């Protein structure tokens, strides 16, 4: 039995979407993909150690849905790259060093690794919309956290400036007061 026949077809997956077949997007030097090809388990382990959120799309060259979703996956990767919290990979399950070949029952399958854990936190079989929703929610939270940190930093900065003004006024008032005392002492003598 061939490997190809052991996988579900697109029509057998949970949701069938009618989409036109999108051509492969060619990459010029100015349009470099944010998605890297996963070569082996060591590359995945290194990425998991150095990046907070790893997304891997297990795919195959013969898989039509994989080709259809490729542009959307790359767009999602580009959007997520702005946060510097993500790394996106593809893993061709027909390659001998594929880490995910034994973990998939259909292609594409999306694996999400979080916070250094070698076991995927989420697995989406053929459901790009769920993956997209998850990633967009995470991006939104990261942006909210940055905005909150920025607001806190600005408030701290304003408080520091305010405290500096109070301190400077106190020092100025003390200097004026000391000068007045000093002048009074001189004029009394």
- Which residues are part of the catalytic machinery? 63, 66
3-state secondary structure of 62: coil
Distance CA 113, CA 45 (A): 10
86-92 vs 53-59, strand pairing mode = parallel
The C-alpha angle 75, 10, 87, rounded to 5 degrees, equals 30
The C-alpha angle 100, 78, 14, rounded to 5 degrees, equals 45
Distances (CA, A) of 107 to 5, 23, 24, 32, 148: 12, 18, 17, 24, 39
Distance CA 55, CA 36 (A): 10
Question: Which helix (H) or strand (E) element contains residue 152?
Answer: helix 128-188
């Amino acid at each position: 039995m061939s490997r190809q026949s052991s996988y579900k077809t697109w029509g057998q997956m949970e949701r069938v979407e009618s989409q036109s077949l999108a051509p492969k997007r060619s990459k010029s030097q100015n349009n470099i993909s944010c998605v890297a090809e996963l070569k082996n388990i060591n590359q995945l382990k290194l990425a998991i150690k150095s990046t907070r959120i790893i997304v891997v799309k297990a795919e195959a060259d013969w898989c039509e849905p994989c080709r259809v979703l490729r542009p959307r996956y790359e767009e999602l990767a580009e959007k997520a790259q702005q946060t510097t919290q993500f790394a996106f990979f593809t893993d061709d399950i027909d390659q001998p060093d594929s880490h995910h070949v034994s973990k998939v029952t259909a292609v594409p399958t999306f694996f999400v690794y979080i916070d250094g854990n070698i076991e995927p936190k989420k697995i989406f079989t053929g459901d790009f919309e769920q993956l997209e929703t998850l990633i967009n929610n995470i991006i939104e939270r990261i942006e909210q956290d940055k905005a909150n940190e920025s607001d806190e930093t600005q408030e701290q900065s304003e408080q520091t400036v305010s405290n500096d003004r109070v301190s400077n006024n106190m020092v100025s008032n003390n200097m004026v007061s000391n000068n007045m005392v000093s002048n009074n002492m001189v004029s009394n003598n």
